[in-house]
Structure 1
Amino acid sequence: MTVSFDEITLTMSSTPLTGVGTSSTPQASVPGSATSGKKGLSYNSASLTSLFSGKGISWVYNWAAVADGPILPGADYVAMLWGEKSIDTWSASAAAAISSGTTHVLSFNEPDHAEQANMDPTVAAQTHIDYLNPLADQVSIGSPAITNGGSPMGIQWLENFFSACGAQCKVDFVAFHWYDAASNFAYFEKHVEDVISLAQRQGIEKVWLTEFGASGSEDEVAAFLRQAVDYLDGNPAVERYAYFMCSDGILVDGNAISNPIGEEYVK
């Protein structure tokens, strides 16, 4: 089987789930102390996260502010303000998530992508100030999560966002994505380092790779993951990361972790 990632296909997986955000009480299972480590899961079906029990998963998210079901015990549920269409339910849902143990929140999902949050950097900056800044004394806050698209997308968009913020946006870590061929590890590494450099220019020490995916044969993707996970775990500026995604056909195969891709991710 060949694994491929297409930006249009990803639109469906990265859009908030129907009904998510309508409840103010997340159903996350958050014990007193979360699993330590960087590795996380992005999901649309909370029940699938339980397959990764004992596999070193420290955090999960679903592009929403409500867990939408019991999640992997010991994992930190990270709420997200997906975009402008999620604003109405954000404050109540974020408050409920925080009261249930959430310690980090994510800003907008791919606002530099026309098929995702699709926000002008100036609008995004003001919306971040209005809806994320008020949580600064309760949780750590991520930047909008950018793609690895070329200018004016990607890094250029995020630079424009920070300029529009005028040092007023509360951001504790920079979030970003990467998709390309499994054979292109050099590009992967360069993109991570470029984002780290951007963050450091803003006085931000940590970055989160909240989505990344590689296309190629299963063996090629597994080999890429082996190299990528070693690199991310060894990079002190990378605080957390999550391969796209905890779903059947990628990290999951039916009712089990997929082999070789899922198994390689959690080694």
Structure 2
Amino acid sequence: MNLHLNLHSQMQAAWDHVLATYQPGTIEMAGVMGMQIIGFVIPATIYMLIDVVFPKFSQRHKIQTARRQPTRAQIAHCVKVTLFNHVWIVAVHAALTYAAGFDKAMLNLDPTIPGWQTIVTDFIFGLLAREISFYYVHRALHHPSIYAHIHKMHHKYITPVAFAAEYAHPIEHLLANVLPITLPLYLKGAHFVSIMIFTVFELWEAAADHSGYDFLKLPPAEMHDLHHEKFRVNYGTIGLMDWIHGTDVVGWDRAKAKNA
């Protein structure tokens, strides 16, 4: 208990210093860029380096076989497109911040950091909201009338690598990668600290889910790796909505067609 209180007190002191030193818009922009780098770019880079620095470990823990792995040229292309997606999202946020004025905040920068109970509640709310919204957006992107125009780009990597998590058409990146993570907590009015904690976790989870490695069981990368291999299975992020809709088993659609 004392450790939690001390940590919260240190966080509050740091937050007080940030608020007293920088403009609200600057705080938001620094937070947005920091979340992208800490939550996704650094973890995705580490996952990618495992193959180079620890090749034997990599070979033991790759979910799919070596012959199915993307080439270096394909990986380089993936990294470029993914980083572009990060840059344009940050640029849009920067433009909105500039238009509103750096002396104003678009997000909740309340001087008092929420307690641990509120942070945990926000996290669970965000997790469930993201699971539900992402599932239905993802299912929609697999519709035949949409798939070839938008989502097919993401499925270029049948054997995914960490950076492939956000290798996507700009429309998909906004609707499937950005909004399901950020919008629910924004609408809830959650504190910026809660949003940062949740977003960093979700970005790391996306990188881990697409890493192609099985040595981390949470999140279960095998679940999303199977989606990239078989396409019509495991549309969600934590498995809840797939369990509810019965889309967590390969061949669920064939069985449904037979019974129709």
TM-score bucket of the superposed structures, by smaller chain = under 0.3
Larger relative contact order, structure 1 or 2 (CA cutoff 8 Å, min sep 6): 2
Q: Please, what TM-score do these two structures have when normalized by structure 2?
A: 0.27
Give the helix-richer structure, 1 or 2.
2
